[in-house]
Structure 1
Amino acid sequence: MDKMKCILFTVFITIVVFCQSGDALRCYTCEQSPVVCRNNVTCTPEDDVCLQIRFVHLRTYSCWKSSRCTTKEVAEEFSADSFRFLCCHRDLCNKSPSFLVASTAAFSISAVTVIWMVYL
């Protein structure tokens, strides 16, 4: 019975971390900013992710379509060849790459817990 409780708890935590409400997404928006962006907007329904593009000394933040979260699409849109980018699905998540690390860690911990509980 304890395994089942742990599995249900892990599934619950995973759902809370990765799901969002039905409200419109809010993202930071700044073009070629040398500092952390503080402006934010409510995205249109077509834009379903927040984007952060990191150039050498500048960052651009905006709303974006998840289907366009590819290196090719971002490079074409911003006429860039040397950059890193982040697409994320939660409100104001494009402020820094820490959300990506936190989400990956939370998912990994949840997956390991489920595997551990199933095989023990």
Structure 2
Amino acid sequence: MRCCLGLVLLLGAAMLHVGSGLRCYKCSDDTESCKNVEECTTEDSCLSLSERGGKTIRRCIRYTDCDNTRLSQMFPSVISFTYRCCNSNLCNSGHAVTMATPLLALLGSLLSVWWSWV
């Protein structure tokens, strides 16, 4: 019985984020701190576009728009920029973001399964 419970917990943790949409930071500022989060569509990725010596724009963007030419058209007031598009939750932050909650749930489930076999 404990083995089945551990297996159910393991599968539940593995499917914790299945079905949830991509979430990205949304802001336009010249600081590293961005607290606003928006839900994206299934066709989106997260954008972090940094103007040289200026502000950083973070938001959802259609994945097909993640190229230099298209971004120049979308942001004509930004003359010189670098950008990054990514496809994991909150990946467009100013620094590395770790997804601690799903990882801890998975580790807890694995520990539970291991404990039931011991």
**TM class, shorter-chain normalised?**
0.5 to 0.7
- Larger relative helix fraction: 1
2: distance between equivalents of 1:90 and 1:68?
Answer: 17
Is 2:21 the partner of 1:24? yes
Aligned equivalent of 1:49, options 45, 50, 54:
45
Give the 4+ runs in structure 1 shifted more than 2 A. 96-99
Cα distance in 1, alignment partners of residues 73 and 95 from structure 2: 22
Q: 1:77 and 1:57, CA in 2 relative to 1: closer, same or farther beyond 3 A?
A: same
Alignment partners' CA distance in 2, 1:26 and 1:76? 24
Q: Which runs of 5+ in 2 are unaligned?
A: 1-16, 98-118
**What TM-score, normalized to structure 1?**
0.58
Residues of 1 paired with 2:18 and 2:83: CA distance?
24
Instruction: Give per-residue Cα distances to partners, 1:30-70, cap 9 Å, x unaligned.
Output: 12x01121110111333x20001101221010001111110
Which protein is bigger by CA-based radius of gyration? 2
Amino acid corresponding to residue 92 of structure 2 in structure 1: N
Identity over aligned pairs, percent: 31
1:27/1:43 contact within 8 Å kept: yes
Number of residue pairs aligned between Structure 1 and Structure 2? 79
CA–CA distance in 2 between the matches of 1:34 and 1:66? 24
Q: Work out the CA distance in 2 between the residues paired with 1:27 and 1:50.
A: 5
Listed as ranges, the matches of 1:82-101 within 5 Å are 82-96=80-94, 98=96
Q: CA-atom RMSD, angstroms?
A: 2.1
Q: How do 1:1-120 and structure 2 match up within 5 A?
A: 21-31=18-28, 33-35=29-31, 36-46=33-43, 48-55=44-51, 56-79=53-76, 80-96=78-94, 98=96
What is the TM-score of this pair, normalised by structure 2? 0.59
